[in-house]
Structure 1
Amino acid sequence: MAARGMTLPAKLRVMFDSNAYDEILRHNDVDRIRALIEAEELVVVTTHVQEDELRQIADAEKRIALLGVYHRVGGSRIAPGDVITGDTTYLSRDDLLAGVAKACCAALVTHDRALAECSTGAALTYDAFRQQVGLS
Protein backbone atom coordinates (compact mmCIF):
# COMPACT_ATOMS: atom_id res chain seq x y z
CA MET A 1 0.00 0.00 0.00
CA ALA A 2 1.35 3.43 -0.91
CA ALA A 3 1.96 6.05 1.73
CA ARG A 4 -0.49 8.92 1.83
CA GLY A 5 0.32 11.45 -0.88
CA MET A 6 2.45 8.96 -2.81
CA THR A 7 1.30 8.23 -6.33
CA LEU A 8 1.31 4.65 -7.55
CA PRO A 9 2.47 4.09 -11.11
CA ALA A 10 -0.37 3.65 -13.57
CA LYS A 11 -0.81 0.24 -15.12
CA LEU A 12 0.64 0.01 -18.57
CA ARG A 13 -1.53 -1.97 -20.99
CA VAL A 14 0.43 -3.40 -23.89
CA MET A 15 0.08 -5.90 -26.67
CA PHE A 16 3.10 -7.84 -27.85
CA ASP A 17 3.37 -8.61 -31.55
CA SER A 18 4.56 -12.17 -32.16
CA ASN A 19 8.10 -10.90 -32.90
CA ALA A 20 8.27 -9.37 -29.41
CA TYR A 21 8.19 -12.86 -27.90
CA ASP A 22 11.54 -13.51 -29.62
CA GLU A 23 12.93 -10.50 -27.77
CA ILE A 24 11.41 -11.55 -24.44
CA LEU A 25 13.13 -14.92 -24.85
CA ARG A 26 16.41 -13.38 -26.02
CA HIS A 27 16.55 -11.04 -23.01
CA ASN A 28 15.33 -13.75 -20.62
CA ASP A 29 12.59 -11.38 -19.42
CA VAL A 30 9.69 -13.78 -18.83
CA ASP A 31 9.99 -13.84 -15.03
CA ARG A 32 10.52 -10.08 -14.85
CA ILE A 33 7.45 -9.44 -17.01
CA ARG A 34 5.43 -11.89 -14.88
CA ALA A 35 6.56 -9.95 -11.79
CA LEU A 36 5.30 -6.68 -13.33
CA ILE A 37 1.97 -8.34 -14.14
CA GLU A 38 1.65 -9.79 -10.65
CA ALA A 39 2.51 -6.39 -9.14
CA GLU A 40 -0.33 -4.97 -11.27
CA GLU A 41 2.04 -2.58 -13.02
CA LEU A 42 1.57 -4.22 -16.41
CA VAL A 43 -1.39 -5.66 -18.26
CA VAL A 44 -0.76 -7.73 -21.38
CA VAL A 45 -3.50 -8.00 -23.97
CA THR A 46 -3.37 -10.74 -26.57
CA THR A 47 -5.44 -12.19 -29.40
CA HIS A 48 -5.50 -15.46 -31.30
CA VAL A 49 -3.26 -13.83 -33.93
CA GLN A 50 -0.03 -14.00 -31.94
CA GLU A 51 -0.54 -17.64 -30.99
CA ASP A 52 -1.48 -18.55 -34.56
CA GLU A 53 1.68 -16.88 -35.88
CA LEU A 54 3.87 -18.60 -33.31
CA ARG A 55 2.31 -21.98 -34.13
CA GLN A 56 3.31 -21.50 -37.77
CA ILE A 57 7.05 -21.27 -37.06
CA ALA A 58 8.69 -24.07 -39.04
CA ASP A 59 11.60 -24.67 -36.66
CA ALA A 60 10.07 -26.95 -34.01
CA GLU A 61 12.55 -26.03 -31.26
CA LYS A 62 12.00 -22.30 -31.77
CA ARG A 63 8.21 -22.77 -32.05
CA ILE A 64 8.07 -24.67 -28.76
CA ALA A 65 10.28 -22.13 -26.98
CA LEU A 66 8.28 -19.13 -28.20
CA LEU A 67 4.92 -20.74 -27.45
CA GLY A 68 6.25 -21.41 -23.96
CA VAL A 69 7.12 -17.72 -23.57
CA TYR A 70 3.71 -16.71 -24.93
CA HIS A 71 1.87 -18.94 -22.46
CA ARG A 72 4.07 -18.01 -19.48
CA VAL A 73 3.62 -14.29 -20.11
CA GLY A 74 -0.10 -14.86 -20.53
CA GLY A 75 -2.47 -11.97 -20.83
CA SER A 76 -6.06 -10.99 -21.27
CA ARG A 77 -7.15 -12.61 -24.52
CA ILE A 78 -9.51 -10.45 -26.54
CA ALA A 79 -11.41 -11.43 -29.66
CA PRO A 80 -10.81 -8.71 -32.28
CA GLY A 81 -14.49 -8.65 -33.22
CA ASP A 82 -15.36 -7.67 -29.65
CA VAL A 83 -13.46 -4.37 -29.82
CA ILE A 84 -13.10 -3.50 -33.51
CA THR A 85 -16.20 -2.04 -35.09
CA GLY A 86 -17.36 -3.39 -38.39
CA ASP A 87 -16.67 -6.65 -40.15
CA THR A 88 -13.26 -8.07 -39.27
CA THR A 89 -13.51 -11.03 -41.65
CA TYR A 90 -11.17 -9.67 -44.29
CA LEU A 91 -8.75 -7.73 -42.11
CA SER A 92 -5.11 -8.76 -42.22
CA ARG A 93 -3.39 -10.04 -39.11
CA ASP A 94 -1.62 -6.70 -38.78
CA ASP A 95 -4.91 -4.83 -39.02
CA LEU A 96 -6.43 -7.06 -36.34
CA LEU A 97 -3.49 -6.51 -33.99
CA ALA A 98 -3.40 -2.78 -34.65
CA GLY A 99 -7.16 -2.48 -34.13
CA VAL A 100 -7.17 -4.36 -30.83
CA ALA A 101 -4.10 -2.49 -29.60
CA LYS A 102 -5.68 0.85 -30.47
CA ALA A 103 -8.91 -0.08 -28.69
CA CYS A 104 -7.38 -1.64 -25.58
CA CYS A 105 -3.75 -0.68 -25.07
CA ALA A 106 -1.39 2.18 -24.47
CA ALA A 107 1.18 0.58 -26.76
CA LEU A 108 1.80 -2.14 -29.30
CA VAL A 109 5.27 -3.65 -28.84
CA THR A 110 6.68 -4.63 -32.22
CA HIS A 111 9.73 -4.54 -34.45
CA ASP A 112 7.56 -4.69 -37.56
CA ARG A 113 7.71 -1.20 -39.11
CA ALA A 114 4.66 -1.80 -41.31
CA LEU A 115 2.61 -2.89 -38.30
CA ALA A 116 3.85 0.06 -36.26
CA GLU A 117 2.85 2.40 -39.08
CA CYS A 118 -0.63 0.90 -39.48
CA SER A 119 -1.14 1.16 -35.74
CA THR A 120 -2.69 4.54 -35.11
CA GLY A 121 -1.88 4.17 -31.42
CA ALA A 122 1.54 4.19 -29.82
CA ALA A 123 4.01 1.61 -31.05
CA LEU A 124 7.18 0.71 -29.15
CA THR A 125 10.15 -1.41 -30.04
CA TYR A 126 10.91 -4.07 -27.45
CA ASP A 127 13.97 -2.10 -26.33
CA ALA A 128 11.82 1.00 -25.76
CA PHE A 129 9.29 -1.11 -23.83
CA ARG A 130 12.09 -2.56 -21.66
CA GLN A 131 13.32 0.91 -20.90
CA GLN A 132 9.83 2.23 -20.12
CA VAL A 133 9.08 -0.53 -17.60
CA GLY A 134 12.54 -0.60 -16.08
CA LEU A 135 13.83 -3.91 -17.46
CA SER A 136 16.94 -2.44 -19.06
Structure 2
Amino acid sequence: MNLIKRELLKEIKEHLNKPEITVITGPRQSGKTTLMKIIENELISSGEKTLFLNLDIEEEMKYFKSQADLLKKIELEIGDSKGYVFIDEIQRKENAGLFLKGIYDMNLPYKFIVSGSGSIELKEKIQESLLEEKEFLNFQL
Protein backbone atom coordinates (compact mmCIF):
# COMPACT_ATOMS: atom_id res chain seq x y z
CA MET A 1 0.00 0.00 0.00
CA ASN A 2 1.47 3.35 -0.96
CA LEU A 3 2.09 6.28 1.37
CA ILE A 4 -0.99 8.22 0.24
CA LYS A 5 -3.31 5.29 0.96
CA ARG A 6 -1.65 4.67 4.34
CA GLU A 7 -2.18 8.31 5.32
CA LEU A 8 -5.75 8.20 4.09
CA LEU A 9 -6.37 4.98 6.03
CA LYS A 10 -5.13 6.67 9.20
CA GLU A 11 -7.41 9.70 8.66
CA ILE A 12 -10.45 7.53 7.95
CA LYS A 13 -9.83 5.44 11.07
CA GLU A 14 -9.64 8.63 13.14
CA HIS A 15 -12.99 9.71 11.66
CA LEU A 16 -14.70 6.46 12.73
CA ASN A 17 -15.38 7.91 16.19
CA LYS A 18 -17.34 10.81 14.74
CA PRO A 19 -21.06 10.46 14.01
CA GLU A 20 -20.84 11.98 10.53
CA ILE A 21 -21.03 9.77 7.45
CA THR A 22 -17.59 9.03 6.02
CA VAL A 23 -17.55 9.23 2.21
CA ILE A 24 -14.62 7.89 0.19
CA THR A 25 -14.57 8.94 -3.46
CA GLY A 26 -12.12 8.32 -6.23
CA PRO A 27 -11.79 6.86 -9.70
CA ARG A 28 -12.53 3.23 -10.41
CA GLN A 29 -9.83 0.81 -9.27
CA SER A 30 -8.19 3.40 -6.98
CA GLY A 31 -8.43 1.27 -3.82
CA LYS A 32 -11.65 2.48 -2.16
CA THR A 33 -13.01 -1.01 -1.57
CA THR A 34 -9.62 -2.23 -0.37
CA LEU A 35 -9.43 0.58 2.21
CA MET A 36 -12.94 -0.19 3.41
CA LYS A 37 -12.19 -3.91 3.71
CA ILE A 38 -9.00 -3.21 5.70
CA ILE A 39 -10.96 -1.02 8.11
CA GLU A 40 -13.79 -3.55 8.37
CA ASN A 41 -11.34 -6.38 9.15
CA GLU A 42 -9.66 -4.31 11.85
CA LEU A 43 -13.05 -3.51 13.41
CA ILE A 44 -14.09 -7.17 13.35
CA SER A 45 -10.74 -8.14 14.93
CA SER A 46 -11.44 -5.71 17.77
CA GLY A 47 -14.88 -7.21 18.38
CA GLU A 48 -17.00 -4.60 16.61
CA LYS A 49 -20.11 -5.46 14.60
CA THR A 50 -20.01 -4.61 10.91
CA LEU A 51 -22.06 -4.99 7.76
CA PHE A 52 -20.58 -4.62 4.27
CA LEU A 53 -22.94 -4.04 1.35
CA ASN A 54 -21.98 -3.52 -2.27
CA LEU A 55 -24.37 -1.96 -4.77
CA ASP A 56 -22.49 -3.71 -7.59
CA ILE A 57 -23.93 -6.98 -6.29
CA GLU A 58 -27.44 -7.40 -7.66
CA GLU A 59 -28.62 -9.45 -4.68
CA GLU A 60 -27.66 -6.63 -2.29
CA MET A 61 -29.44 -3.89 -4.26
CA LYS A 62 -32.77 -5.02 -2.79
CA TYR A 63 -31.75 -3.55 0.57
CA PHE A 64 -31.67 -0.08 -1.01
CA LYS A 65 -35.23 0.05 -2.32
CA SER A 66 -36.10 2.11 0.75
CA GLN A 67 -34.49 3.34 3.93
CA ALA A 68 -36.74 0.94 5.86
CA ASP A 69 -35.42 -2.02 3.84
CA LEU A 70 -31.83 -1.03 4.57
CA LEU A 71 -32.54 -0.53 8.27
CA LYS A 72 -34.19 -3.97 8.50
CA LYS A 73 -31.06 -5.55 7.02
CA ILE A 74 -28.78 -3.60 9.38
CA GLU A 75 -30.86 -4.52 12.44
CA LEU A 76 -30.87 -8.17 11.37
CA GLU A 77 -27.08 -8.25 11.00
CA ILE A 78 -25.93 -5.82 13.71
CA GLY A 79 -28.87 -5.45 16.06
CA ASP A 80 -29.86 -2.17 17.66
CA SER A 81 -26.52 -1.34 19.25
CA LYS A 82 -23.36 0.29 17.91
CA GLY A 83 -22.08 -0.99 14.59
CA TYR A 84 -20.39 0.00 11.36
CA VAL A 85 -22.14 -0.10 8.00
CA PHE A 86 -20.00 -0.07 4.86
CA ILE A 87 -21.73 0.72 1.57
CA ASP A 88 -19.61 0.28 -1.54
CA GLU A 89 -20.49 1.83 -4.92
CA ILE A 90 -23.10 4.25 -3.52
CA GLN A 91 -23.24 6.00 -6.91
CA ARG A 92 -25.51 3.15 -8.04
CA LYS A 93 -28.25 4.42 -5.69
CA GLU A 94 -30.46 7.10 -7.18
CA ASN A 95 -30.59 10.17 -4.93
CA ALA A 96 -27.85 8.71 -2.74
CA GLY A 97 -27.33 11.94 -0.83
CA LEU A 98 -30.97 12.29 0.21
CA PHE A 99 -31.15 8.58 1.02
CA LEU A 100 -28.12 8.85 3.33
CA LYS A 101 -29.26 12.13 4.88
CA GLY A 102 -32.60 10.58 5.82
CA ILE A 103 -30.86 7.72 7.57
CA TYR A 104 -28.37 10.03 9.27
CA ASP A 105 -31.21 12.22 10.57
CA MET A 106 -32.69 9.20 12.39
CA ASN A 107 -29.82 9.40 14.89
CA LEU A 108 -29.12 5.67 14.78
CA PRO A 109 -26.24 3.95 16.61
CA TYR A 110 -24.56 3.04 13.32
CA LYS A 111 -21.52 4.64 11.71
CA PHE A 112 -21.80 4.75 7.92
CA ILE A 113 -18.74 4.52 5.70
CA VAL A 114 -19.62 4.77 2.02
CA SER A 115 -17.63 4.79 -1.19
CA GLY A 116 -18.36 5.81 -4.72
CA SER A 117 -16.50 6.15 -7.96
CA GLY A 118 -15.14 9.62 -8.05
CA SER A 119 -17.49 11.31 -10.40
CA ILE A 120 -17.68 14.97 -9.49
CA GLU A 121 -21.44 14.72 -10.02
CA LEU A 122 -21.78 12.05 -7.30
CA LYS A 123 -19.67 14.03 -4.88
CA GLU A 124 -21.73 17.17 -5.52
CA LYS A 125 -25.06 15.34 -5.10
CA ILE A 126 -23.98 13.84 -1.78
CA GLN A 127 -22.54 17.15 -0.62
CA GLU A 128 -25.74 19.03 -1.53
CA SER A 129 -27.74 16.72 0.68
CA LEU A 130 -25.32 16.29 3.56
CA LEU A 131 -23.05 19.30 3.72
CA GLU A 132 -25.63 21.71 5.13
CA GLU A 133 -25.11 20.18 8.55
CA LYS A 134 -21.56 18.91 7.99
CA GLU A 135 -22.87 15.38 8.27
CA PHE A 136 -20.05 13.78 6.35
CA LEU A 137 -16.35 13.95 5.72
CA ASN A 138 -15.12 13.22 2.22
CA PHE A 139 -11.84 11.44 1.54
CA GLN A 140 -10.66 11.69 -2.06
CA LEU A 141 -8.34 9.05 -3.53
Q: Under TM normalisation by the shorter chain, which class is it?
A: 0.3 to 0.5
Higher relative contact order (CA 8 A, sep 6+): 2
Q: TM-score, normalised by structure 2?
A: 0.35
* Bigger-Rg structure (1/2): 1
Q: TM-score, normalised by structure 1?
A: 0.36
